[in-house]
Amino acid sequence: MQSHVSLLRWRFTSIGAAFALMGVVIFVQLVRIQISPQAETFRKQSDLYAGVWKTISPARGQIYDRWGNLLAGNRTVYQIGVEMQAVEDPASIAFAMQVVLGEDYDKMFALASPEANPDLIYTVLADYVPAEKVLELQQFAEEMEGTFGENQPIRNLDGLMTTPHLQRSYPENDLASNVLGFVSREGRGYFGVEEKYNELLSGISKTVWMPTDPNQIEALPDIPPGASLILTIDREIQEMIENVLDEEVSFWGAESGTILVMDPKTGEILAMVVTGRINLNEYWKFGEQIGGKTPFNKAIGQDYEPGSVFKVLTMASALDAGAVKPETEFLDTGLIEVGGAQIRNWNWGAWGPQNMTGCLQHSLNVCLAWVGTELGSKQFYEYMRAFGFGHSTGIDLAGEVVGRLRLPGDSNWYAADLATNSFGQGLSVTPAQMLMAVSALANDGQMVVPHVLLGIVNNDHQYNPPPQIAGYPISGESAQAITQMLANSLESEASIALVDGYRLAGKTGTAEIPTPYGYTSNQTNASFVGWGPVDDPRFLVYIWLEKPTGSIWGSEVAAPIFSELVRRLVVLLNIPPDGVQLGLNP
């Protein structure tokens, strides 16, 4: 009995010792692995599968026109890649990518082959693939498996993965493309609103660690979407003007065309149209469609010598300074010499006695050069600076240039520049600068900053920034006076710029284009600036056709375009004829 108990105790002790030894061995092994030279390798391997750093980019804000029509939104596209561990048949994957997406077979095979990429876990085969193509790919995979069956050699697309994400989309294609700009595949905005408000639209991306261990999962941080923008652009007016401009540029054989329409009271740009627009959904064809040297938006990105449309500003300044009055008489002899330079009229003729309205009506260079000298260089350039020339307008679009305005005291300024600048020669401006300056004339002396942003929708609220006043370069009386003079001059000559039922003010411009040897070419820039109705201006239009070949004169090229635009604008803007307006608001 005693020996039996001893035997039992010995056995139990042995088993206990064996288990204890196993425990010690396991513990020693655990410690040994931790401090072994391979420990770092094991840690790296575990880190690979512990989770991923993921950058979460909020959806880019949308862009709407002033009536809430979508101009820029987002759509789902797919990244196609392969998970290397799951790939069984890289040849079939490469074949499918070639058939459905037109990719190069050899390249796809090399990318999808686990043997060729032993260290890779995942690799991208294609990105920005539209949903339709992904559907085709799925159908292709099903057909492939159905065709070969389970007992046949492996023919499947196992390992092929599709990852959805958002891409910028422009439902209106090329409409207002020069205003909108575009977004690259990296998510950065280029040109126009997309560049100017890139940070606002794109929101703030965050990079977060996403562990594969479900125990460590935390809720994703709250990443609000980018702000949406409402533009001042009216897509109906924009489209109408795009159609008109395309036709007119083609008809007159012009190199390019630019038209701006603005509310002179608020500075809201209703339409900004240039020729050479691109389909924003295929922005990478930018070079083919526009050409590398042409600015994306000539309305703000290209300066030129405006010519006679500039005379309205010279005359407004002189009226405001009291240098002349509308009835001031000037004897036009066809020639005036200022600073050693001889100035002649556009037709090299002498127009005899003229009042200031006549000088504008006949667009007399000699008269305006004289007005400039009456004003004096100091005052003239002070007014030009006040009108905003020589610096940017502050328009909320990327890519604005400031033009060129030489001032007394500059090394390259000469006394003759006062005379030539007075009728729009020897200086350069952008159409947007001209628009802003002339807004003072159409808005009782108050100059407004042109802008395209009407509202920002962010955090479930809409913020409408108020219009900005750029200054008061002239008085309200002077603005009224120049407006009446221009309206009278259009009516006196029965200009083709007029529209029945509406009293309009405006001025044509024909500017010679300088070459390195002076004004030696026969090419011109034809322009027109006009606004109306005179009693209560609702629109301000600026037109510029570059190098028209059908006619070189602004009065023949640009004036009828103004008339045509106004005929359609008054309908779209619900502006009744002056007579009806008086009846409606006695």
Partner 1 sequence: MKTIPQQLIHAYKYAPWRAQLQLIGVFSLIVVLVALIAGVYLNVTARTATIGREIQVMEEDILELQRDNADLENQLGLLTSIRTMERRAEELGFQSINPDEVLYVSVSGYAGRQAASLAPPPGPVTVPDSSLPPEYTQTLFDWLKGTTLQTIHDPSLDWITGWVVRPVEAKESGSHDGSP
**Which residues bind to partner 1, rule: CB under 8 A?**
59, 62, 64-71, 73-76, 164-166, 169, 171-173, 175, 214-217, 219-220, 225, 228, 230, 235-236, 239, 454-455, 457, 460-464, 499-501, 567-568, 570-571, 574, 576-577, 580, 584-585
Q: Which is nearer to partner 1, 118 or 214 (CB)?
A: 214
- Least Cβ distance, residue 214 to partner 1 (angstroms): 4
Q: What are the φ/ψ torsions at residue 23 (nearest 5 degrees)? A: -60, -45
Q: Which is nearer to partner 1, 78 or 330 (CB)?
A: 78
Which DSSP symbol is given to 58? P
Query: Do residues 512 and 520 lie in contact, with contact meaning Cβ atoms separated by under 8 Å?
Result: no
Task: Tally Cβ neighbours within 10 Å of residue 148.
Answer: 14
Distance CA 467, CA 443 (A): 13
- Least Cβ distance, residue 318 to partner 1 (angstroms): 36
Q: Which residues contact 548 (CB under 8 A, 6 or more apart)?
A: 252, 253, 254, 524, 526, 557
Core vs surface per residue 308-322: b (16+ CB within 10 A) or e: bbbbbbbbbbbbbbe
Distance CA 316, CA 445 (A): 10
Q: Which residues contact 366 (CB under 8 A, 6 or more apart)?
A: 332, 333, 334, 335, 336, 343, 344, 345, 351
- Least Cβ distance, residue 393 to partner 1 (angstroms): 22
The amino acid at residue 125 is L
- Least Cβ distance, residue 211 to partner 1 (angstroms): 9
Distance CA 183, CA 190 (A): 6
- Least Cβ distance, residue 280 to partner 1 (angstroms): 13
Distance CA 287, CA 298 (A): 15
Q: Which is nearer to partner 1, 124 or 220 (CB)?
A: 220
Locate all alpha helices (DSSP H) within 389-498, ordered by sequence: 416-422, 431-442, 476-492
Q: Which is nearer to partner 1, 301 or 537 (CB)?
A: 537
Q: Which is nearer to partner 1, 120 or 220 (CB)?
A: 220
Strand partners, 304: 429
- Least Cβ distance, residue 110 to partner 1 (angstroms): 31
Q: Which is nearer to partner 1, 30 or 584 (CB)?
A: 584
Q: Which is nearer to partner 1, 267 or 403 (CB)?
A: 267
- Least Cβ distance, residue 13 to partner 1 (angstroms): 15
